[in-house]
């Protein structure tokens, strides 16, 4: 059975965020990830780029706007 558990390495010890769901004795693989603060800020920035938006227009008006903003192949200049 393979299980994953997150934790932190501090002062030569690995402290798990939650108890491991495995037998009393098990082989482990330790992978060092980026600093938790860095990872969290990158994740926060990622979530800022995605998600729902607010728009008072109806679906037909939004679809029309999307079609009108597209470029035809002839309009693209390289």
* For range 58-71, the mean pLDDT: 86
**Of residues 37 and 7, which shows the higher confidence score?**
7
Q: Binning pLDDT at 50, 70 and 90, where does residue 21 land? A: confident
For the residues 36-41, what does the mean pLDDT come to? 57
Q: Which of 39, 26, 41 is nearest to 5 (CA)?
A: 26
pTM of the model: 0.35
Query: Please, which pLDDT band fits residue 24 given cuts at 50, 70 and 90?
Result: confident
CA distance 9 to 18: 14
Closest CA to 29 of 7, 50, 11: 7
């Amino acid at each position: 059975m393979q299980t994953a558990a997150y934790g932190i390495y501090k002062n030569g010890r690995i402290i798990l965020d939650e108890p491991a769901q495995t037998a009393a004795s098990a082989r482990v693989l330790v992978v060092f990830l980026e600093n938790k603060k860095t990872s969290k800020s990158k994740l926060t920035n990622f979530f800022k780029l995605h998600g729902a938006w607010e728009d008072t227009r109806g679906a037909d008006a939004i679809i029309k706007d999307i079609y009108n903003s597209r470029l035809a192949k002839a309009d693209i200049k390289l």
